């Protein structure tokens, strides 16, 4: 099969590898679409810890074409998306649903071969069927939608909540979709890129801006008692004081990005006196299924964030800094 390989930081190739064979209890998925995550660009740059060589791709979907056990043959031919977590399912962490704490944890696209390839193998219990109305491209971005659903759940957003999203790249946009579905209102968005802000507006953001000072003005006028839920999806430490400053007394400020282990001179009094709850939301599993169900029932659609499509052979362009930094780029997708 053809597969993109990150041989080491800065070195990527399109390789010919043996077709994977699913062991008992596993299924092989013929990939139809695989979305590009910024984390994968960090793998290529060597700024995200992983063991090389690796075939990345943790946002994908396709059709089951082989299973390792005859008891699982009902999955053959089905259109599916899959959870990426490979765990023991037996330890105390797994029993609590905290899969990423499992001592045997591996993630497809990082510790196990991922979806930038013609085939992926995954445990059968990780599979979720796609509704007939769900396209393969939408199916491939159910994983980041699941991240958005997880973040909004952690934020305790509910009907009538006010919200601010700092950064409306793919994760921020998925948070916006999840917030709208939860019944949040008067959602304000901040980002540097006009294309992202325009899409956020079309998805139901009340106001958008590229100016932090303007955001504070909007929040004072539209959220006069402070904002119930503030989500930082920028990964920029400079946004944290801004986020805290607009969060209401007793509100929730969620760190939804990765900050590359950077240190931050934190002022506890900025939160302590206002009873602000700060939550991390970097590792959450188990939300692909509700994402698939919501999309299948027409509650949410996020396909509009896909702006660029590539073949595997286009890998050099797909992973270039020039492409990722283009003003009109939001989400890239390998299509098969």
Q: Cα–chain-centroid distance for residue 178? A: 12
Q: Residue 263's pLDDT is what?
A: 80
Instruction: Give the span between the Cα atoms of 142 and 72, in whole angstroms.
Output: 23
Measuring CA to CA, which residue among 27, 191, 13 is closest to residue 125? 27
Domain residue spans of the chain: 2-141+302-335, 148-280
Instruction: Give the span between the Cα atoms of 104 and 91, in whole angstroms.
Output: 9
Instruction: Give the span between the Cα atoms of 318 and 329, in whole angstroms.
Output: 11
Pick the CATH number of 2-141+302-335 from 3.90.180.10, 2.60.40.10, 3.40.190.10, 3.40.309.10: 3.90.180.10
The string of DSSP letters for 157-215 reads: --TT-EEEEE--SHHHHHHHHHHHHHT-EEEEEE-S-HHHHHHHHHTT-SEEES-HHHH
* Structure tokens, 189: 């968005």
The string of DSSP letters for 268-283 reads: THHHHTTTPEEEE-S-
Cα→Cα distances 271→157, 224, 244, 251, Å: 19, 18, 7, 10
Highest CATH level, class, for 148-280: alpha beta
Q: What are phi and psi of 31, to 5 degrees?
A: -70, 135
Do residues 20 and 121 touch, judged by C-beta distance below 8 A? yes
Q: Residue 159's pLDDT is what?
A: 97
Cα→Cα distances 34→59, 72, 109, 215, 262, Å: 6, 24, 11, 34, 30
Instruction: Give the span between the Cα atoms of 65 and 62, in whole angstroms.
Output: 9
Residue 179 bridge partners (DSSP): none
- The answer to whether the Cα torsion of 204, 282, 101, 145 is positive or negative is positive
CB < 8 Å & 24+ apart, contacts of 326-329: 327/193, 327/194, 327/195, 328/195, 329/195
Q: Residue 273's pLDDT is what?
A: 82
Query: What's the pTM value of the predicted model, to 2 decimals?
Result: 0.95
Measuring CA to CA, which residue among 215, 272, 278 is closest to residue 252? 278
The string of DSSP letters for 68-119 reads: SSGGGGGGTT-EEEE--EE--S-SHHHHTT-GGG-TT-EEBTTTB--SSBSE
8-state DSSP, 25? T
Instruction: Give the span between the Cα atoms of 144 and 73, in whole angstroms.
Output: 29
Q: Residue 44's pLDDT is what?
A: 92
Q: Residue 47's pLDDT is what?
A: 84
For the chain, residues with pLDDT lower than 70 are: none
Q: Residue 269's pLDDT is what?
A: 83
Q: Residue 130's pLDDT is what?
A: 98
User: How, if at all, do strands 227-232 and 247-255 pair?
Assistant: parallel
Q: Residue 271's pLDDT is what?
A: 83
- The string of pLDDT tens digits covering residues 46-100 is 888 889 999 999 999 999 999 999 999 999 999 999 999 999 999 999 999 888 8
């Amino acid at each position: 099969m053809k597969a993109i390989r990150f041989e080491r930081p800065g070195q990527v190739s399109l390789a010919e590898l043996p077709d994977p064979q699913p062991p008992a209890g596993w299924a092989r998925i013929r990939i139809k679409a695989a979305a590009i995550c910024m984390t994968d660009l960090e793998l290529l740059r060597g700024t995200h810890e992983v063991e090389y060589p690796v075939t990345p791709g943790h946002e994908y979907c396709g059709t089951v074409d082989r299973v390792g056990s005859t008891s699982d043959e009902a999955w053959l031919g089905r259109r599916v998306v899959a959870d990426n977590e490979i765990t023991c399912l037996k330890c105390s962490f797994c029993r609590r649903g905290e899969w990423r704490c499992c001592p045997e944890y591996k993630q497809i696209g990082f510790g196990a071969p991922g979806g930038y390839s013609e085939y992926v193998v995954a445990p059968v219990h990780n599979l979720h069927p796609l509704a007939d109305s769900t396209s393969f491209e939408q199916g491939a971005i159910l994983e980041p939608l699941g991240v958005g659903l997880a973040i909004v759940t952690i934020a305790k957003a509910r009907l009538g909540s006010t919200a601010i999203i700092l950064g409306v790249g793919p994760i921020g946009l998925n948070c916006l979709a999840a917030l709208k579905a939860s019944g949040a209102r008067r959602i304000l968005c901040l980002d540097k890129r006009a294309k992202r802000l325009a899409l956020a507006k079309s998805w139901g953001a009340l106001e958008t801006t590229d100016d932090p000072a303007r955001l504070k003005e909007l929040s004072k006028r539209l959220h006069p008692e402070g904002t119930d839920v503030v989500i930082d999806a920028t990964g920029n430490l400079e946004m944290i004081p801004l986020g805290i400053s607009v969060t209401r007394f007793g509100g929730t400020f969620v760190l939804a990005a990765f900050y590359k282990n950077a240190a931050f001179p934190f002022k506890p009094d900025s939160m302590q006196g206002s009873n602000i709850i700060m939550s991390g939301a970097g590792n959450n599993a188990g939300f692909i299924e509700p994402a698939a169900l919501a999309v299948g029932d027409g509650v949410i659609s996020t396909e509009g964030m896909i702006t660029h499509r590539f073949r595997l052979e286009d890998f050099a362009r797909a992973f270039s800094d020039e492409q990722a930094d283009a003003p009109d780029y939001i989400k890239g997708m390998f299509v098969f």
